[in-house]
Amino acid sequence: MNFNHNANFLIEIDGIATASIQSITVPEVGYNVLMAGRSGNRPDIKLTGKKNVSEGSIEKLVSSTLPDSPIWALFSANESGLTEVYKKDVILVELGVNKQPINRFMLEGFFISNIAGTEYDTRGDNNSLTLRNITFQVDDYIPL
């Protein structure tokens, strides 16, 4: 099985393709609904409120062609406590069947909040692969 063929997303950090992604849960984006009361028994008026953006998650193959170190470096930058160091504006690129970009999204204020590995065992058929499960936070999710 060619797992690189199944990686239909890339993450670009500072213009460099950093991670080949097997699966992604993009952040959910929505607005709070505010209710403005009206006099008498008339229904309230609904107004848009503050924009909310949830966390997202990535499952990525530890690739032999793209190093894993930029992901770990970005995660380790959290220790600085300085948003200008650990937060990045990241581009999520969706690839078509010919591996050419078809959609791009800005993950504004991206930082990694959790990295988990999966169990693997190479004693059997040597087809076990290492995957990273990455949870990330963003300030905004914007189609480009």
pLDDT tens column, 72-106: 888 899 999 999 999 999 999 988 888 889 999 99
**77 contacts: CB under 8 Å, gap ≥ 6:** 85, 86, 111
Report the distance separating Cα 57 and Cα 42, nearest Å.
43
Q: pLDDT (tens digit, 9 = 90+) per residue, 26-59? A: 999 999 999 998 888 889 999 999 999 999 998 8
